[in-house]
Amino acid sequence: MGFTYLTIIHKIVLWTLLFILALFIFFSFKQKDKRLILPMIFSSFLVVGTLTVFSLFVLDKYTKKAKLLRVTHKRILLNESITISGIVKNVGKFKIGKCKLEVKIASNPMAGKNLSGSAVFNPKASISEMFSNKENGKKSFVKKEFYIAYDLDPGVWQPFSVSMKFPPYLKNPYLKYKLYCH
């Protein structure tokens, strides 16, 4: 559970990069100056390792696709929390290991009716004040991540429900969802 599945495309890319690494190491040993062999092998591992990490992230982004459907949220005033529920569906052609939902609740300063320029832009006096929120140390947003689905086959959907604390001090709050699958 929670295993990242490698598609056939991932395996082809990994074998290609392994072959390139072997070529780099082979050409490193063919070097006439023996002092350069070790630095060349190290740089080969560094370059191919970096390419491997980036290519796996890119391949995951374009092969593991999922969608959020019928997302609803309910605020529970009794314990100041919010429950978010819906369906996550694998819309790609490959199996997905796990999906993470990132939920962000933030104040919406642009939703005010009597909004003036000073409400949007409030200059700070010093650098330390620029990075601090003086309103009782309260943040203007709350962000939390949840794993909502595991082992999704292509075309399969799975219901989810998550709950998190709702900060009552936020003014005109809005919810934002992001889904990450790999």
Q: How far apart are CA 133 and CA 123, in angstroms?
A: 13
User: What digits encode the pLDDT tens for the residues 56-107?
Assistant: 888 888 888 899 999 998 988 888 888 999 999 999 888 888 889 999 988 8
CA distances in angstroms from 8 to 11, 58, 63, listed in the order given: 5, 14, 10
Q: Looking at the whole model, is its pTM more than 0.75?
A: no
Q: How far apart are CA 44 and CA 94, in angstroms?
A: 31
CATH no., domain 66-181: 2.60.40
User: What digits encode the pLDDT tens for the residues 9-31?
Assistant: 889 999 999 999 999 999 999 88
User: What digits encode the pLDDT tens for the residues 151-181?
Assistant: 888 889 999 999 988 887 877 888 888 998 8
